[in-house]
Amino acid sequence: MEVISYLVENHIVRLKNNNPEFLLLKRVATDSYPNIWQMVTGSIDKDEKAVQTAIRELFEETSLTPEKLWIVPNVNSFYEPTKDVICLVPVFVSLVKISDEVVISNEHSEFRWVNKDEAIKLLAWNGQRKSVEIIFEYFSNINSTYKFIEVELK
């Protein structure tokens, strides 16, 4: 069995009164994983780096561009039975302005800005919920032991 990486996960955060809010997107009913809530996700294109995918998918799915972008110290994983592979998914977090307008793509039917607890209730997979916990601690606890690597945006 092979271990591969062909997807990214990008959590979108805005700070409202210094509290992080998470943008969740609801998948359309006609696509794979219908009607689930998720963060921005997407496939890494050939000759594209994962961080480039995170930025591209953010814009394609929400029309947003990040003010700042970090690598979250967490990698999600899942088994893909049709390919018989384990997929490792790098996790990113994008900070956007509170005034930015979200325009969702046709991959999603609606969006919500939610707090940490609601995000954890709505997300389908444990790894995604763990990422929310890590991101929340990073943004809300100056004594956090988590160290995020900031990506230089051009």
Query: What would the pLDDT profile of 60-83 be if each residue is shown by its tens digit?
Result: 999 999 999 999 999 999 998 998
Query: Domain coordinates of the chain in residue numbers?
Result: 2-151
CA 145 to chain centre: 21
DSSP string, 40-100: EEEEPPTT--HHHHHHHHHHHHHS---SEEEEEEEEEEEEETTTTEEEEEEEEEEE--TTP
CATH class of 2-151: alpha beta
* Global confidence as pTM: 0.93
Query: What would the pLDDT profile of 97-136 be if each residue is shown by its tens digit?
Result: 999 999 999 999 999 999 999 999 999 999 999 999 999 9
Nearest Cα to 13, choosing from 143, 137, 127?
A: 137
